[in-house]
Amino acid sequence: MISITDRPGLAASVRCWPSRVVTMISAMTIPVRTICLSLAGAGRKGQDGGHGCDAICSHQNRGARMRVVHQFAPAMSAMIASLPGVTSAEHIPLDQRWNLPTDADVLFVLHGEGDSRSHDEGLPRPAGWPGSVRLVQIASAGIDDYPTWLFDAPQVATASGTTARPIAEYALAVMLNHAKRLPTITLNAGDEWPTREMQMDKPLASLEGRTLGLLGLGQIARQVARFAAAFDMTIIATRASDAPSPDPNVTLVPLPELVARADHLVIAAPIGASTRGLLGADLLGRMKPDAHIVNVARGAIIDTDALRAQFDAGRLWASLDVTDPEPLPPGHWLFAHPRARITPHLSWSSSETMRRVFERLAENIRRLQAGEPLLGAV
């Protein structure tokens, strides 16, 4: 029933879950239910019919202590404790989530919701931090929404790359949604079938031959480029480093050229001193009047007021999965503006994502024990 075929140790471990854990799946709280359903789904594709087979456990390093503390749902402790080499796993309550223990070996944490960005107020450094903590495994790709003292731990690793695929799919989804004007042409109750003249009045757009601009060229942007190449888009990118383009379909250009040429501008760069507010009045003003901005990075890379000024001048369109501020307060103008389509920071979401993040934790615990370099090391 459950199988992770490309991780032999983890596969054996998961098969070791007691029947009780498997039975719990239907009653589990978020996000464990998500993980378990995902794992069960992966298992259906595999060939392993075993479940609850606690006779074949193969934990390694039985002598060494490996205590993991996590911020997720309590029921996840059983899953983490079943990983090879882990001797115990505990949940830390939501209201104490940043009062992290200094006597654990590994901490598995998830970012806040904008509330811990760029300031540590209300998130005091735990006494004696980092103590015996050897690894902090972050469950997100970005590192901007954590207390700064967290990074004083000996090793910190992100889940970078685990969400590149769903985020890139989201980017293509909103690009096509915009090109085909699906929200506009989809008929609703009370509508009438349009006449042929109405149908032909304003043709839909294509991605073919249009120019995709990528701000940033990390794993997300490179995956977007691979998709866009299949649609025969012209692909240009601006990246922070001087490294050459990793993809022959992607041409590196200076930032002013990027914004001026893009029909779709996908923002997939990390937030930082060089990108905060980067897309302000100047660069937005250089864009084509009908250009479409897709933001799957951080809201504050766009100057929200400058974007509104462009919109109010009848320019630009935007599909934003991230906003500034975030969460958007009730009644914020972005909810209702006809040139903006907002989704609530969900582009990472996929039935595979939690499984991949959990696999990252398992793999980095293995690497920690083996003394190998971590995946996603900060």
Chain residues that interact with a second copy, rule: CB under 8 A: 30-31, 34, 38, 45, 113, 165-166, 169-170, 172-174, 176-177, 179-180, 182-183, 185-194, 196-197, 199-201, 203-209, 226-227, 229-231, 326-328, 330, 335-336, 341-346, 349-354
Cα gap 191→267, rounded to integer Å: 36
Told to judge if 90 belongs to the known catalytic residues of this protein, a careful annotator would answer no
Nearer to a second copy, 156 or 228 (CB): 228
Minimal distance in Å, beta carbon 281 to a second copy? 25
Under 8 Å CB-to-CB from 17, ≥6 apart: which residues?
A: 2, 51, 52, 54, 78, 79, 82
Q: CA torsion 318→322→324→330, rounded to 10°?
A: 90
| 326 is known as an active-site residue | yes
CA distance 284 to 159: 31
Owner of token pair 């149908």: 199
Q: Which residues pair with 295 in a beta bridge?
A: 267, 320
Contact in structure between 358 and 2 (CB atoms under 8 Å): no
Cβ at position 351, least distance to a second copy in Å? 5
User: Which is the catalytic residue, given 345, 355, 360, 366?
Assistant: 345
Q: What minimum distance in Å lies between the beta carbon of 283 and a second copy?
A: 23
Does residue 166 have a cis bond before it (omega within 30 degrees)? no
Q: Please tell me the distance from the alpha carbon of residue 196 to that of residue 199, in angstroms, as a whole number.
A: 5
Output DSSP code: residue 151. G
Say how far apart CA 97 and CA 344 lie, in whole Å: 23
- Residue closer to a second copy by CB (options 345, 366) is 345
Output 107 or 172, the one with its CB closest to a second copy.
172
Helix (H, G, I), strand (E, B) or coil at 93: coil
Catalytic residue among 70, 178, 239, 326: 326
**How far apart are CB 4 and a second copy at their closest, in Å?**
14
Burial class of residue 125, CB neighbours in 10 A (0-12, 13-18, 19+) = middle
Query: Least distance from C-beta 371 to a second copy, angstroms?
Result: 33
- 345 flagged as catalytic: yes
- Distance of alpha carbon 376 from alpha carbon 160, whole angstroms: 6
Least separation in angstroms between residue 23's CB and a second copy is: 21
In this structure, the dihedral spanned by the alpha carbons of residues 302, 347, 227 and 352, taken in order and rounded to 10 degrees, is 150
Rank residues 34 and 87 by Cβ distance to a second copy and give the closer one.
Answer: 34
> 7: which 2 tokens?
């991780």
> Which residues carry out catalysis?
298, 326, 345
